[in-house]
Structure 1
C-alpha cells in the first residue's frame, strides 16, 4: 500500500462541467448518459432526513466582538454561531442511498454508510449545487479548489469512526450577513456579521433510546438512514455582541437557507441545528476570554436563553475569582441552565487529516455564475417589495407573510392583488388595496385556518375565490360582516368550484339597498332599538357616555342581518340622537 503522501499526489481533481442541463464530472459522464438513456437504475428519491443528534466539532472562530451584553458594562461579550443545515439533496453525500425523513429504520443505507470494509466514498454531484446556493446567498467567495478531510472520533452514531468534512480547505469563505430594522433592530442600527466559512460534511446516524421494560434492559438503537446525508455548516465570525443579535442572526440564516432553496426544513422540523460559542473578557484587555461551546440547540429561543444563562454563569465565575474552563456544555431548556458534557476538544483531539480516497473538488466559475443568475429573491428583497408600493404592507405583516409557510402566502397574496388590480369594474374604495388583501390573507383567512387546524398547504380557499370575495366587498355588494360569513362557508365547504356570487345569493348575504340615513325602514329599526335601552340612550343624549352610540350601531347592524354597511348605520344613529 503506498504511503499517504503518494496517494494524495496521485489523486485527480474533480472538475464540474455542464452536461444536458446538469453539472457533472468527466468520470460521471458515462453514468449520466446511461441515466438519460434509462439503462441505469437508481434508488427512488425520498424526503430529506432530519439533522444529527449531535457530535463534537472544533471551534475555529477567532476575533473580538465590538460590543457587550446589555446589563453589565464591565464585560465584553463574544458570541459565534455554527449552524448545521440539511441540504436539499435527494441522495447522500458519498453514497447512492436516498436521503429519508421517516422511512423505516435502516432502509436507506448503502454499504459505505454502514462502513462495510473496502467500500470507498464517491461524491454525489447534485449535493454541491444547493451548498453553493447557500454560500452565494451569504455573499461568500466560492473557492475554485477545495478538499475533504477526516475528523476522527468514536461514537456509536459514527460507523466509520470519522466524519468527512472540509476543515482545511472549505468550498466557500469570507461571506457576511447584514442585520437591520427588517430583523427587529432599531431604525438606525445596522450590524454586519462575518461568515468565516461554509463547508460540506456528512451527517451522523440517529440514536434512539429505549427505556427498560420488564423483559429488556434500557438500550440505545442506531438507525443508519441519516448517516452520510449531506450537511452544510455555516461558521460565523465571533462578531455578535448579545443574545438578541445572535437570535436575529440565526433567524436570518434560516430564512436565507429556505429562500435560496438550499435547505427545505428549518429548526421547527429538525432541519437546522445550532452550536454557540460564548466568552467574556474585561473591557480594555486584549484578546478573547476562554470560549465555552453549547451544543445541539434546536430553536431560536434556546439559542437566546442559553447565551444569556452562559454569560451570567461566566460573569459569576470570574467575579468570584475563578477561571473559565474551555468545555462543551449541554442545554437543559426545562431548568434553564447548561451542564458540562466534556472538556473542549481541539484540532489535535480530532486528528484531522486529508481524505486520501476523495480527490480535490474544482468548481468552475460558469457554475457559480449560473447559480447567481438563477438565485430566488432573498428575504430582504421580498420584505422591501411588500413594504413598498403598490403593496404597502407594514413591516410586521410583511415579515409574517414571508416567515409563514416558507413564503407560500406571498404567492397567494400577489395572485389576489394581480387579479383585482386588472379588473376594470373594480372599485377599491378608500382602503389601500395592498393592505386590504394583506389583512384578509393573514388575519381573516389565516385565523380561520388556524382555528380549524388546517395547514396552509391544504388551504381550501383559492386565490380566485378570495379575489371574488374582496371584489364584492369593495363594490358594496356585501358588507364586511357578511363577507366574513361567506369566508366561513368557503373554508367549511372546501370546494374550489364554489362561486362567491352564488354563495352570497344562496345564503342571502347581499347588501340591502337603502336610501342612506333617510331610509324609513332603518329609521324604524333604530327607533325601536333606542326605545329598548332608555337608560343607555339617556347617557348618550346627556353626553355622559357618547361612545355608547357604538352599542346602538352594532345592534342596528345585527337587526338588518348584516346587510347594511356600518357607515350607513352610523349615520342613522347619529341622526336619531342629534334630532
Structure 2
C-alpha cells in the first residue's frame, strides 16, 4: 500500500552567485529559436467587406456561399485551459483561497507585491495538479522549475506572473473523443496534451462606470484571487472543428471535476479558456497564422467564437488579405470578436527562471499513490451506467454524470442498491435501472428545478426514494399516486417522514382488487358507454390503441388507487365480450 503522502519536496533555495547562474543567454536563445514567423502585414480588407461580415455575424444567418468556400480550407484549433486548483491556500503565500469572501480580505503581503517578500511554495497545491495531469495521461516530470512571465497590467501587482514555461511538471498527455462525447458512432479523435503547468492567477478587475456627469469611471482591484494556484492545460493544435473543441473542453472540465482537481467549472468562473484558431488551404503544408481569442467563460462561447473567427479569416483571405497574428476578445452579445492587441511572442514576455524558487522534485512513489487513489473518471462512470445492471441510455448517463459534480450518480446508485436488495430476484431486470434513472433525473430532478431547489438542498433521502419505488414496484402505489407522494415529501421538507405515513394520511394506497370485481366492471362499462364513437373504433379494430384512452379514464375514475394492470384487464374483458 503506498504511503499516505509520499515524498514531494523542493530542493534547497539556490543562491544567485552570478548574474548568469539562472538568467543566462541560453534562456533567451531557446526562446528566440521557438519563435514563429514574424507577424504578417495587415489585411488591407475593404471596409465594405468588413461591414458585410459583421452584419452576417450579428444576424446569425447560415451563409450558403461560405459553405462552399469552407471546403477549400482546413481549420486548426488549440486550447489553453486555466483551472483554479482545489487547494485551501494560494500557490506561493499563506493566504486562503475564496470565491465569495469580501474584497481584499484574503491577501498576503506577497500577493500584493510588498517589496522584500519572497514566494514560498505551498506543497499541498501540487496534489490536485498531479491528479489532473495523471487523469489526462501525462508524463510526470520528476524535476520541474518555475519561471517569470513579465507583463504590466493593473491586475498583476508584481509586474510578472510565476508560471512553468521551460520545464513544466507534466507533459505529453492525450485525450480521446468518441461517441461518449457526442461524436458519431464510429468517430474517434485523439487530442494531444502538450503540457500541464502550474501558475499564479491574477487579481480581479471590477469596472465601475460613471454614475453622474462629471464623475469619472474607475476600475477597482480585488486581490483575493491574486496568487491562487492555477493549472494550465495546453493542447496540441490537433482540433479540426468547433464541435471537437467544445467536446474536448467539456471532457477536460468533467475530468477536472471527477478527479477533484478543480474548484468549480466554467459556469462558476473556476475554469477559463483561450482558443488559438488558424486556417490553411487544403493541400498546403504547415499551419496558417494563428489568432488567439482570450478569456472565454463557457463552452457555448468557445464554439461560437471559433465559428465566427473561421468565417472572419476565410473572408479576409478570399478578399486578398493576410491574417494578422493578434489577440482578440469575444463579444457574446454581438456574436463577434474584436482586436485587443498584437500577438505577443516569448521574447515579449521576457521569460526567465525565477531565482527565488527552487526546482520542484516529485518522487515516483507520490505519482504511484496518485494513480492508485484517483477516483473513477467520466468515461469509466458512463460505461458503468450504460452496462448492466443499470442499463441507462447514453443521454441519461451523460446527464447523470454532468450534473452536480457527480452527486446525482452517487444518489442514483444508493437508491438502486437499496431497492435491488429489497426486491431480491425481482430486481434482475434492465427495467429497474431505467426506472430509478427516470425518477432520479426527471421526476425528482424536474420537481426540484421547478421549485428552485438546488440538488445540494434535496429534501428527499435516497432511502425515502427507494421506499417510494419499492411501493410502486410491488403494486402498493400506482404511478400517479407515487408522484403525489413525491410532491408531498418535497413540500413537507421533513426528512423523517416515511412513505407509508404519507400513503395512510392521504389515502393513496392502491386498493386490493382484481379484474373480476363487479363494481370495477360496472364503472368501466359506464365510461365506455360515454364514448360510443371511440368504443366502436376499438370494436371494429380500426383504432385498437384507443383502449389506452379508456384505461386512463378508468384509473382516473378510481382516484389512481387501482393498479394499471387491473384496469387494463377489465377494459380488455369488456371489449372482448
Is the shorter-chain TM-score for this pair beyond 0.5, marking a shared fold?
yes
CA distance in 1, matches of 2:359, 2:119: 13
Q: Can you list the C-alpha shifts for 1:329-377, whole angstroms capped at 9, x where unaligned?
A: 1111111111111111101111111111111111111111111111101
CA distance in 2, matches of 1:80, 1:439: 38
**Which residue does the alignment assign to 1:112?**
110
Q: Select between 452-461 and 527-536 the one with higher mean Cα deviation.
A: 527-536
CA distance in 1, matches of 2:76, 2:291: 10
When residues 219 and 452 of structure 1 are mapped into structure 2, their CA distance, relative to the original with a 3 A threshold, is same
**Which residue does the alignment assign to 1:49?**
none
**Which residue does the alignment assign to 1:203?**
201
**Which residue does the alignment assign to 2:444?**
445
The answer on 1:181 being equivalent to 2:176 is no
CA distance in 1, matches of 2:534, 2:10: 86
CA distance in 1, matches of 2:204, 2:237: 30
CA distance in 2, matches of 1:285, 1:540: 68
When residues 531 and 308 of structure 1 are mapped into structure 2, their CA distance, relative to the original with a 3 A threshold, is same
**Which residue does the alignment assign to 2:432?**
433
CA distance in 2, matches of 1:180, 1:61: 34
CA shift, 1:316, in A, is 0.9
Q: Can you list the C-alpha shifts for 1:32-56, whole angstroms capped at 9, x where unaligned?
A: xxxxxxxxxxxxxxxxxxxxxxxxx
- Do 2:93 and 2:108's aligned partners in 1 also have CA atoms closer than 8 Å? yes
Pairing of 1:187-226 with structure 2 (within 5 A): 187-214=185-212, 216-226=215-225
**Which residue does the alignment assign to 1:561?**
559
CA distance in 1, matches of 2:491, 2:153: 52
Gaps of 5+ in 1: 1-17, 29-57, 63-68
- Do 2:9 and 2:362's aligned partners in 1 also have CA atoms closer than 8 Å? no
CA distance in 2, matches of 1:371, 1:74: 46
- Do 1:145 and 1:361's aligned partners in 2 also have CA atoms closer than 8 Å? yes
Q: Can you list the C-alpha shifts for 1:279-309, whole angstroms capped at 9, x where unaligned?
A: 0111111111000001111111110111111
The answer on 1:422 being equivalent to 2:421 is yes
Pairing of 1:112-511 with structure 2 (within 5 A): 112-214=110-212, 216-423=215-422, 427-428=426-427, 432-511=431-510
Q: Select between 555-564 and 506-515 the one with higher mean Cα deviation.
A: 506-515
CA distance in 1, matches of 2:337, 2:423: 62
SS of the equivalent of 1:80 reads strand
**Which residue does the alignment assign to 1:95?**
93
- Do 1:23 and 1:125's aligned partners in 2 also have CA atoms closer than 8 Å? no
TM-score norm. by structure 1 comes to 0.87
Q: Can you list the C-alpha shifts for 1:163-188, whole angstroms capped at 9, x where unaligned?
A: 00001110000000011111011111
- Do 1:61 and 1:80's aligned partners in 2 also have CA atoms closer than 8 Å? no
SS of the equivalent of 2:444 reads helix
Q: Select between 170-179 and 418-427 the one with higher mean Cα deviation.
A: 418-427
Q: Can you list the C-alpha shifts for 1:400-428, whole angstroms capped at 9, x where unaligned?
A: 11110001011111111111222266744
- Do 1:193 and 1:237's aligned partners in 2 also have CA atoms closer than 8 Å? yes
Pairing of 1:540-551 with structure 2 (within 5 A): 540-551=538-549
CA distance in 1, matches of 2:414, 2:293: 44
Aligned length: 526
Q: Can you list the C-alpha shifts for 1:459-484, whole angstroms capped at 9, x where unaligned?
A: 11111111111111111111111111
**Which residue does the alignment assign to 1:14?**
none
SS of the equivalent of 1:564 reads coil
CA shift, 1:430, in A, is 6.6
CA distance in 2, matches of 1:136, 1:428: 37
CA shift, 1:213, in A, is 1.6
CA shift, 1:216, in A, is 3.5
SS of the equivalent of 1:439 reads helix
**Which residue does the alignment assign to 2:73?**
75
CA distance in 2, matches of 1:563, 1:503: 14
RMSD: 2.2
**Which residue does the alignment assign to 2:532?**
534
**Which residue does the alignment assign to 2:15?**
none
When residues 19 and 511 of structure 1 are mapped into structure 2, their CA distance, relative to the original with a 3 A threshold, is closer
- Do 2:10 and 2:359's aligned partners in 1 also have CA atoms closer than 8 Å? no
Q: Can you list the C-alpha shifts for 1:186-242, whole angstroms capped at 9, x where unaligned?
A: 111111100000000000000001111237321000011111000000000000011
SS of the equivalent of 2:263 reads coil
CA distance in 2, matches of 1:476, 1:247: 45
Q: Can you list the C-alpha shifts for 1:523-543, whole angstroms capped at 9, x where unaligned?
A: 111122222333433444445
When residues 24 and 286 of structure 1 are mapped into structure 2, their CA distance, relative to the original with a 3 A threshold, is closer
CA distance in 1, matches of 2:141, 2:541: 76
Query: Relative contact order: is structure 1 or structure 2 higher (C-alpha 8 Å, sep ≥ 6)?
Result: 2
Gaps of 5+ in 2: 13-31, 37-65
- Do 2:11 and 2:358's aligned partners in 1 also have CA atoms closer than 8 Å? no
- Do 2:378 and 2:401's aligned partners in 1 also have CA atoms closer than 8 Å? yes
- Do 1:130 and 1:261's aligned partners in 2 also have CA atoms closer than 8 Å? yes
CA distance in 2, matches of 1:572, 1:429: 29
**Which residue does the alignment assign to 2:55?**
none
- Do 1:393 and 1:438's aligned partners in 2 also have CA atoms closer than 8 Å? yes
Q: Can you list the C-alpha shifts for 1:431-461, whole angstroms capped at 9, x where unaligned?
A: 6211111111111111111111111111111
CA distance in 2, matches of 1:229, 1:339: 29
Q: Can you list the C-alpha shifts for 1:55-105, whole angstroms capped at 9, x where unaligned?
A: xxx9x899xxxxxx9862211111000000000000111111001111111
Q: Can you list the C-alpha shifts for 1:509-529, whole angstroms capped at 9, x where unaligned?
A: 11111122x221111111222
CA shift, 1:429, in A, is 8.7
When residues 223 and 437 of structure 1 are mapped into structure 2, their CA distance, relative to the original with a 3 A threshold, is same
- Do 2:289 and 2:324's aligned partners in 1 also have CA atoms closer than 8 Å? yes
